[in-house]
Amino acid sequence: MALREILHYPDPRLRTVAKPVEVFDDSIRTLVKDMAETMYAAPGIGLAATQIDVHQRVIVIDITPDKSDLKVFINPQLTDLHGETVMEEGCLSVPGVYDNVQRAERIRVQAMDENGKPFEMAADDLLAVCIQHEIDHLDGKVFVDYLSPLKQQRIGKKLQKRQRVAL
């Protein structure tokens, strides 16, 4: 296993639309392990492969405080969206920035696990928001896209400055 480097907004590679996984081999299982390790080390509650510059439709999520419930979603698809909720979101690719985003409150998602086995599940509240946030990454979207243009500009400047300093 290995920690992978997380891309930071406004890195243009975060805009790449990920391709579906077609072959469920050891390289996918290694990717999932590396993503879980990278997410836990950050620490974060979700990570999409896009964020480590791998453009395949793979997501890991664990919203438990004790890292006890790793969920893996490969080729995830939302099948049902209900209600509305507003939550303050953050993102490992947008360090230090938190803001309110409106999303569906309850969802159903179809996906496959790291062995290619299909499953479907319902999710609400934080888990539902997290799944929607991570699927956005696979489509090249970042949560700041939902904020006002002025806020997006400020966040972009702030993070560019931070990257220059971090050299």
- Closest distance to Ni ion from the beta carbon of 116 (Å): 25
Look up 22 and say whether it is catalytic.
no
Contact by Cβ (8 Å): 143, 136: yes
Q: Which of 5, 22, 114, 134 is catalytic?
A: 134
- Helices assigned H by DSSP within 89-148: 125-138
The reply to whether 91 sits near Ni ion by the rule CB under 5 A is: yes
Exposed/middle/buried for residue 60 (C-beta within 10 Å: 0-12, 13-18, 19+): buried
- Closest distance to Ni ion from the beta carbon of 76 (Å): 14
The tokens for 132 are: 């929607």
Nearer to Ni ion, 50 or 75 (CB): 50
Total residues at the site for Ni ion (CB under 5 A)? 1
Residue showing the smallest CB distance to Ni ion in the complex: 91
**CA torsion sign, 101 to 53 to 41 to 97?**
negative
Nearer to Ni ion, 72 or 91 (CB): 91
Residue with tokens 């920035």: 97
What track of x and - describes contact with Ni ion for positions 49 through 88 (by CB under 5 A)?
----------------------------------------
Cis amide bond preceding 76, omega within 30: no
Residues at the contact surface with Ni ion, assessed by CB under 5 A:
91
Residues acting as catalytic residues: 134
